Amino acid sequence: MYKKLFAAVIISLSSSAAFAAGAFTLKADDIKNGRFGSQQVLSEDYGFGCSGENLSPALSWKNAPKGTKSFVLTIYDKDAPTGLGWVHWVVANIPANVNKLPAGITADGKNLPAGALQTRTDFGNPGYGGACPPKGRKHRYEITLTALKIDKLPNVAPDSMPALVGFLTKANSLGSAKVTVVYQR
């Protein structure tokens, strides 16, 4: 009887450990019901007709793939009426020991983890640019965190274009976690 009980406990502990490891996941901590709030919406000074606070969302993640040495975070509007989509935020070189980004990271890097780097977006400069789709249209914003097998993307600086960062990210990816957020005004 004790052998069976001992075996059951070992199997249970093994299953719990495997379950605890789990899948690589990303969570948008301050986004309610899968939709951006006014805090994450583009501000008036951009001239697109929105009047939000333009604050980057708080994000957290767990269970990065084995061998992860850094992360890249992107927010991309696949529904933007450009024919190419619209990149709203790029953060590269997030150290592997980091598992969250606070809300409100500024364009000058306040609250950004040491070593991380914001690069150019489709707004033309580094830093978060909030959601602001045309009136009456629902857009899907993909927030993607990619785990990388390298410490730092080569030849990437604040003025690097999103396509270059994307190419280097894909070339060094170990896996990614994604959250899709919807916004309509």
Strand partners, 11: none
pLDDT of residue 133: 94
CB neighbours (10 Å) of residue 140? 14
User: Residue 21's pLDDT is what?
Assistant: 62
- Which tens digit of pLDDT belongs to each residue from 125-184? 999 999 999 999 999 999 999 999 999 999 999 999 999 999 999 999 999 999 999 999
This prediction has a pTM of 0.86
Q: In angstroms, rounded to a whole number, what is the distance separating the alpha carbons of residues 89 and 56?
A: 9
Identity of residue 141: Y
Strand partners, 176: 146
pLDDT digits (tens, 9 = 90+) for 59-70: 999 999 999 999
Does residue 70 sit in helix, strand or coil?
strand
